[in-house]
Chains A and B, each alone.
Chain A
Amino acid sequence: MDLAKSNALHARARAFVAAFERGDPAPEAFDVLACDIARYQIENSEGYARLVRARGLDPKMLVEATALPPVPTDAFKLTRVATFDEAETKTVFRTSGTTIGARGSHPMRDEGVATYDAAAVAYGRRWLMRDLEERVPVIVLGPSPDDAPDSSLVHMCAAFAAAFGSSVDYVIEGDIIDVSRFDERVAYALTDERPMLVLATSFALVHFIEGMDDVQFRLPARSRVMQTGGFKGKSREVEPHALRAEVARIFAIPSPAIIGEYGMTELTSQFYEERENAYVEPPWARVIPVDPDTLEPVEDGEVGIAKIIDLMNVDSAVAVLASDRVRRIAGGFELLGRQPGAAPRGCSIAIDEILGRS
């Protein structure tokens, strides 16, 4: 562990964020920083060193981010993916544990949390606060950081509330949505037509919509709703297009005011939906569709598995392999969901079936 080296890499990573906020070009080449972070991770993580050796790569020869071997998200469930000692840990973000009881962990030290907040707020501001000059009331359809201290999503919402909010209300406690509190806050905002920011998970929105039946819950003009995450078995699954239409209807907002966010516990960066299923990366992250067999980038326009280069993941894994399928499109990537299960041959059980039985 070389904290000085790590701190220097964090500073270079945050320089990307600062440049973005100023509207300046990136301070250095993406590939250069990505490969420097990878070399740091090879030196300080036995697991990553093994992965690089297994791919037959010489760390000194790494020059392109696309060549970096990705760490699959499952590795975060099996072992500690970090370049620093346990004693340096400031916080551990954990996945929601949908896979056979194992929860993925993403430990962060002080610098990591600072980098997370800087990147999330800068890119979140671009998407959630565009054309809003003043702070706005924030409602989080989710638990508070005290109730879910290990959720990166909750941490991100709290960071948004601190950066963008004139007030913040967390309206989920346990399994209960406090609708009357929501109602009160909306009514208050409506009195002076101040726009609001609603931050919500997809499954919370489904529960909210189901609880409201046909009632409309008009938000003030220019309000927006950030929708994130999947359903994780916590509500019925709703087709994204249908959910968006329902959210627009119930809050009486236009569809473009609903902003999809795509992120994962194993990453530090987030992506936002520009149009249906089409997401845009910040300048400090890249989503590369790769061939599932070779993990090499596929041809432009072809579908591959998402290999994500995240320059903010300084102390964990700069390259992460997700299970989602993606395709590059102009200006971003199309998110196509998980690999569809081809009808399985034989009767060997699949993970999804075990989950369905538990």
Chain B
Amino acid sequence: MSTRTLVNAARRLVERRATIIPAIVESTGLTPEGVELALTKHLEVEATDDELARLEASTPKTSRVTVILSANVFVGALRAIAVARAAAPAVVVRPSRRDPTFARALVEEAADPAITIADDLDVAAIVEGEIHVYGRDQTIAEVRAKASPRVVVRGHGSGMGVAIVTHHDEASARGLAEDVVVFDQRGCLSPRVALVLGDASSFADALHEELERLDAAVPRGQVPGDERAAIGSYVATMTYASRALVGRSHVVGVAPEGSPLLLPPPYRHVHVAPVASIEAAAESLGPLVHGIATIGANDRAAGDALARALGIRVRVSELGRMQRPPLDGPVDLRA
């Protein structure tokens, strides 16, 4: 399988990660510990043959795929290129200009003659196959506008995760904290909102404790100025409205009962809101529904029920596995 070649290359990169971590730290703003965590726990180097077979079987075939990586978490390059390679015998990858290290290293390590790197790309000059673009809605729209009508453009946009917590135990809080910390919560699967059936306040306390522990083990990276403003405002808002649990590099906001949802900024901020039922959770998430890329749950049936109630097709994972979906297709099933 051509995708296995890529996975093996990724594994070799992890083994010699010391050579690429400094450049990734520089370009992503994550700390060395954050990059280490992403590479060692969230890169799909343990993908099974069964997962890869599903990936290859479920991917529509075409003659050629051009992959544009503009905004994604850096390890996402493996899945993006694997999906493209499963689709076509010829793949051209344009790495993110801001964050090219991992994608470039992966392509070089794979040494698959079917995959080439293109630093400069004229979208309008692509005349066949598909373009897979990973980025903001605006980037995807720009690529669509420029692309030839003969080329299929598949957009993989930004997103967020939500968690539904039906009962709380230490493992649930720990799992959610792990999902939050990786990539400093900048991934399109990163949970930003946790809806809790029952005592949201005590779950928030447990989550705060787990995040505090992880803040020490995996320090947060740089936070840009505009996000710092959003963080200050979020803390003051939640303090006024109810409760803000402020850690060394995270915040857990506890929402007042029945209040509308507020989307907290990324960089380790979780909005914990009490809900009376799955239906009530779906109702409160209504305005955010177009942004939800995954649901995490400590009760799989509750996660599935929430997805059904929202009327969306998304991955549903256990808490602690929201950022580790199997390598069996795109992370985002919304398209």
What residues of chain A have their CB less than 8 Å away from a CB belonging to chain B? 47-48, 50-51, 54, 69-72, 74-75, 77-79, 81, 100-102, 292-295, 305, 321, 323, 339-351, 353-354, 356-358
Contacts and interface: CB of A to CB of B under 8 A. Distances in A.
Interface string B224-245: 1110111011101111111010
Contact of B72 (A54, A295, A346): A346
B290 A347 contact: no
Interface of B: 28-29, 71-73, 76, 98-99, 134-137, 157-160, 183-188, 190, 192, 224-226, 228-230, 232-234, 236-242, 244, 255-256, 259-263, 266, 286-288, 290-291, 293
Contacts of A341: 226
B291 A349 contact: yes
Given A75-B237, A293-B228, A293-B232, A348 B187 contact: yes
B29 A345 contact: yes
Contacts of B73: 346-347
Contacts of B293: 349
Contacts of A54: 239, 244
Nearest to A54: B239
A347 B260 contact: no
B256 A348 contact: no
A353 B137 contact: yes
B240 A71 contact: yes
A347 B74 CA distance: 10
Contacts of A102: 260-262, 287
A354 B241 contact: no
A344 B136 contact: yes
Given A295-B232, A346-B188, A354-B290, 8 more contacts: A72-B234, A78-B256, A100-B262, A343-B71, A345-B71, A347-B73, A348-B187, A349-B157
A50 B288 contact: no
A295 B236 CA distance: 10
Q: Is the interface of B mostly helix, strand, loop or mixed?
A: mixed
A342 B225 contact: yes
Contacts of A344: 71, 136, 158, 186
A47 B241 contact: yes
Contact of A51 (B29, B239, B259): B239
Contacts of B192: 348
A357 B260 contact: no
Contact of B240 (A48, A348, A356, A358): A48
- Specify which of B76, B157, B236 lies most central, judged by the most chain A CB atoms within 10 Å of its CB: B236
Contact of B260 (A100, A292, A349): A100
Contacts of B230: 339
B118 to A, nearest CB: 21
B240 A347 contact: no
B23 to A, nearest CB: 15
A29 B239 CA distance: 30
A81 to B, nearest CB: 8
Contacts of A50: 239-240
A354 to B, nearest CB: 4
7 contacts: A101-B260, A342-B224, A344-B71, A345-B28, A347-B76, A347-B187, A348-B186
B266 A358 contact: no
B233 A72 contact: yes
Contact of B226 (A81, A342, A351, A358): A342
Contacts of A294: 232
Contacts of B291: 349, 353-354, 357
A77 B232 CA distance: 17
Contact of A101 (B71, B99, B286): B286
A100 B287 contact: yes
- Specify which of B137, B232, B286 lies most central, judged by the most chain A CB atoms within 10 Å of its CB: B232
A160 B137 CA distance: 42
B221 to A, nearest CB: 9
Contacts of B76: 347
Contacts of B286: 101
A100 B263 contact: yes
B190 A348 contact: yes
Nearest to B238: A78
- Nearest 6 CB-CB pairings of A with B: A346-B186, A292-B229, A101-B287, A102-B260, A357-B290, A347-B188
B237 A78 contact: yes
Contacts of B226: 292, 339-342
Contacts of A357: 137, 290-291
A31 to B, nearest CB: 21
A61 to B, nearest CB: 20
Contact of B241 (A78, A348, A350): A78
A101 B28 CA distance: 32
A77 to B, nearest CB: 6
Contacts of A295: 232, 236
B42 to A, nearest CB: 13
Given A341-B226, A342-B226, A349 B236 contact: no
A47 B261 CA distance: 18
- Specify which of B29, B239, B263 lies most central, judged by the most chain A CB atoms within 10 Å of its CB: B239
Contacts of B233: 72, 74, 292, 305, 321, 323
B288 A354 contact: yes
Contacts of A356: 137
Contacts of A69: 236
A99 to B, nearest CB: 8
A100 B290 contact: no
Given A347-B72, A348-B186, A100 B288 contact: yes
Nearest to B99: A345
Nearest to A101: B287
B300 to A, nearest CB: 24
A345 B188 CA distance: 11
A349 B28 contact: no
A347 B157 contact: yes
Contacts of A351: 263
- Specify which of B136, B238, B255 lies most central, judged by the most chain A CB atoms within 10 Å of its CB: B136
Contacts of B99: 345
B228 A347 contact: no
